[in-house]
Amino acid sequence: MLDDMFDHMAGLRDRPVWSPPPAEARARFREPLPEGPGDLAEAYASFQRDILPFGSGNAHPGFMGWAQGAGAPVGMLAEMLAAGLNSNLGGRDHMPIEVERQVLAWVRRMFGFPETASGLFVTGASQANFVAVLIARTRALGAEVRRAGLASGAPRLTAYASRGVHGCVPRALDMAGIGADALRLIEVDADHRMDLAALKAAIAKDRRAGFTPFLVVGTAGTVDVGAIDDLHGLADIAAAEALAFHVDGALGALAVLSPELAPKLAGIERCDSLAFDFHKWGHVPYDAGYILVSDADLHRATFASPAAYLARAERGLAAGDWWPCDYGPDLSRGFRALKTWFTLKTYGADALGAAMAANCGLAQALAARIDATPELERLAPVALNVVCFRHRFLSDVQNAELVADLQVAGEVAPSLTTLGGRTAIRAALVNHRTRLEDVETLVESVLSRGRAMLSAMAEEATR
Ligand SMILES: Cc1ncc(COP(=O)(O)O)c(C=O)c1O
C-alpha cells in the first residue's frame, strides 16, 4: 500500500487532475453492511480500482480550484504512525499531548503571539472561526452566557467583517446563537480590503441603535480574491472600540513563513485570535485546522467543564496540566499534531514559506499573461495567490461552462466565483507541485476552449 501511494504521488502528472467517478464504481459502494469478515486484499483492490483514480484531484499540479492544500508524503507517513498509535488527544498524561504543545509553541512564535497564548488543532478554519466567535461571546458577556444562553434580555451583539468574508463566519455566529444577521458586512476598497471608515460608521450606527458591538473579523486572504485586510488598521479600531479582534487566516496566514510575504500580514500579531489551516498552504494532509488565542484564560473559560470522569489526578494517567478538551468543543481528538510536527521537522518552515512565495510568483505571472491577452480580462488585483479573470467574448454562463469543460478535460482544474456580478474563472495557486507550465496550460486551455465555443456559436448563427 505504501509503495503504491508513493507511485501514485510520483505519477500525479501522468493522470488527469480529476475524473468523474463512473456509475459502476458508485454502484459498488451501495452494498449492504458486510456481516462476516472479508478479504483485505479484495478491499484494497476495490480501493485501487474505485477510489484512488477518482479523488478530487487537489494533490495534482493542475488543481487550481477553491483553496485546497496538496499534501506532502511526510504527512502521509505520519498519518500511518498516528493511526497505528491511535491516541486520543482530548487530554491525560501522554507524550502525544506534548507533541501538540510543541506545535503550539511553534505556532505562537510564527505569529508573534505571547508565550502564554493558547491554541488547539481543530478540523479546519470553519471550526476555528466558530471557536473564536464563542470566545469573543464570553469576552463580551462573561462565562455566565454558557449557562444562561442568549435568551431574552441579553445584549444584542453585533460583529463586523468585510463583504469578502468566508461564509463560515456568518455560520459561526448562527451556531453561537447570535444569529448570522448580527454580522455586518462592510464595504471593501478597490483592493477588496475592508473600508475602515465604513467599519467605524457601522459600529457607531449600531451603538446608536442600542446594539452591543463585540467583534471585528479581519481576513488574511479572502476566499474569492486573496485580499488581506489592513490588520493594523483593524487592530486600532478594535482597541479604540474595545472589541475583540479575530483574524480568519485560513487561506493566507501561513505566509508569515515567507520573509517576502510576511510584511503583507503586518498586524496579525495584534489579533485576539487567529484561525488558519495547516491543511491548506501548510500541506499537512487533511484535516489540520488551528485556532490560536492570545488570552488562554478566556479561551479556557469558554470551554472547560467540570465532569467527574474528567477530573485531574496528581499522578497516573489522569495527571497532566494541559488537556485540550478544556479549549474546544471536542473531547475525543485525533493526533493531528503528529503530521504537522513531522511536516515542520522534515521540510522546515523556510521551505514551506518558499513554496508559498513561489505560488505567489506564479500568480503574478498568470496575472501578467492575462493582462497581455486581449481575449482575457482580469477581475481583481492579485495580492497573494488567487487570480480571477474571464474570457471577454463569452457570456457568464459560457465562462462557467468553459470551467466545467476544463475540469472534465482533466489537464487543469480552476473553479468559479462571482465578482461584481460577473462570473469569474478563479485560479488559486496553493499547490507546491504547480509550475509555470501548468499556469501556461491554464491560459492556453481557456483560449483554445474559448475559440472552440466561439466558432461553434458562429457556425450555429449561419445555419
Ligand atoms: C478565507 C477562508 N476562511 C475559512 C475557510 C474554511 O476553512 P475550512 O475549509 O478549513 O473549514 C476557507 C476555506 O477555503 C477560507 O478560504
383-440: pLDDT as tens digits: 999 999 999 999 999 999 999 999 999 999 999 999 999 999 999 999 999 999 999 9
| Residue 36: predicted pLDDT | 97
Q: For residue range 359-378, what is the model confidence (pLDDT) as tens digits? A: 999 999 999 999 999 999 99
* Separation of CA 39 and ligand 1 centre (Å): 39
- Which has the higher per-residue pLDDT, 7 or 152? 7
- How many Å apart are CA 207 and CA 176, to the nearest integer? 21
Q: ∠ at Cα 166 (208, 108), nearest 5°?
A: 95
pTM flag (> 0.85): yes
Question: Candidates 162, 163, 168, 247: which one to mutate for ligand 1, based on the most atoms within 8 Å of Cβ?
Answer: 168
Report the pLDDT value the prediction gives residue 427, as an integer from 0 to 100.
98
8 Å CB contact between 280 and 69: yes
Distance 250 CA to ligand 1 centre (A): 5
- Ligand 1 contact via 139 beta carbon (within 6 Å): no
> Which neighbouring-strand residues pair with 422?
419
Output the DSSP codes for 216-230: EEEEBS-TTT--B--
Share of the chain above pLDDT 70, in %: 100
| pLDDT greater than 80 at residue 152 | no
DSSP H or E stretch at residue 103: helix 95-111
Whether residue 273 has its Cβ less than 6 Å from ligand 1: no
Is pLDDT at 50 greater than 90 in this prediction?
Answer: yes
Work out the pLDDT band at 8, boundaries 50, 70, 90.
very high
Q: What is the DSSP pairing of strand 289-293 with strand 118-122? A: antiparallel
Q: At 332, list the grid cell.
A: 475525543
Q: Is the CB of 67 under 6 A from ligand 1?
A: yes
